[in-house]
Chain A
Amino acid sequence: MSRRLTRWRADWRTGLTAASTAIREKLAFRANFAGTMLTYGLFIMVFSRIWANATAGGTTVAGYRYDMLVWYFIIAEVPSFALGRFFWSLSRDMKSGQVAYLVSRPYDFVGYQFWERLGSALPDLFIILGEGLLIGCLLTGGLPPLAEWAGAYSGGQPLAGSGLAWLAGQGLRALLVVMSLLLSGSLNFYLQFSLAMTAFWLEENDAFYWIFQKIALVVGTLIPIELLPDAARAVAVWTPFPYIAYAPARIMVAFQLPEALRLMAVQLAWIAIGLVLARLVFAASSRKLSINGG
Chain B
Amino acid sequence: MNELNTIQPARRTGRLGAYLRFMGMAFAVNVKAVLEYRLNFLLQFFGMMLNNAAFAAFWAVLIARTGAVGGYGFNDVMFVWGFVSSAFGLAHIVFGNIRGLSRIVLEGSLDVYLLQPKDVWLNLLASRTIVSAWGDLAYGFIILALLPGHGPLHWLLFVALMVPAALIFVAVFAGAESLCFFMGNSSGISSAVSEFLLTFSLYPEGVHGAWFRWVLYTILPSGFVAFVPLRIFKALDWPLVPLLWGIAIGYLALSYCLFRVGLKRYESGNRMDARV
Contacts and interface: CB of A to CB of B under 8 A. Distances in A.
Contacts, number: 77
Contacts of B206: 53
Interface residues of chain A: helix, strand, loop or mixed (majority) = helix
Contacts of B51: 210, 214
B43 A35 contact: no
A227 interface: yes
B192 A38 contact: yes
A229 interface: yes
Interface string B20-60: 00000000000000000001100110110011011101100
Contacts of A217: 54, 58
Nearest to A217: B54
Contacts of A28: none
Contacts of B53: 214
Interface string B171-208: 00000000000000000100110011001100110111
B270 interface: no
Contacts of B64: 229
A73 to B, nearest CB: 12
B99 to A, nearest CB: 13
Interface stretch (A43-51, A92-100, A129-137, A189-197): A43-51
B261 interface: no
Given A46-B207, A211-B50, A54 B66 contact: yes
B246 interface: no
A50 B69 contact: yes
B65 interface: yes
Counting chain B CB atoms within 10 Å of each CB, the highest count among A42, A53, A217, A218 belongs to A53
Interface residues of A, number: 30
Interface string A189-217: 00000000000000010110011001101
A222 interface: yes
A222 B43 contact: no
B207 A49 contact: yes
A228 B47 contact: no
B70 interface: yes
A54 B199 contact: no
Interface in A17-51: 34-35, 38-39, 42-43, 46, 49-50
A182 to B, nearest CB: 26
Contacts of A38: 188, 191-192, 195
A206 B37 CA distance: 15
A204 B45 CA distance: 13
Contacts of A223: 58, 61-62
A223 B55 CA distance: 11
A61 interface: yes
A182 B199 CA distance: 29
A210 B51 CA distance: 7
B47 A207 contact: yes
Contacts of B55: 222
A289 to B, nearest CB: 22
B43 A206 contact: yes
Interface of B: 39-40, 43-44, 46-47, 50-51, 53-55, 57-58, 61-62, 64-66, 69-70, 188, 191-192, 195-196, 199-200, 203-204, 206-208
16 contacts: A35-B191, A38-B195, A42-B195, A52-B207, A61-B62, A61-B65, A204-B40, A204-B43, A206-B43, A214-B51, A214-B54, A215-B54, A218-B58, A227-B62, A227-B65, A229-B64
Interface of A: 34-35, 38-39, 42-43, 46, 49-50, 52-55, 59, 61-62, 204, 206-207, 210-211, 214-215, 217-218, 222-223, 227-229
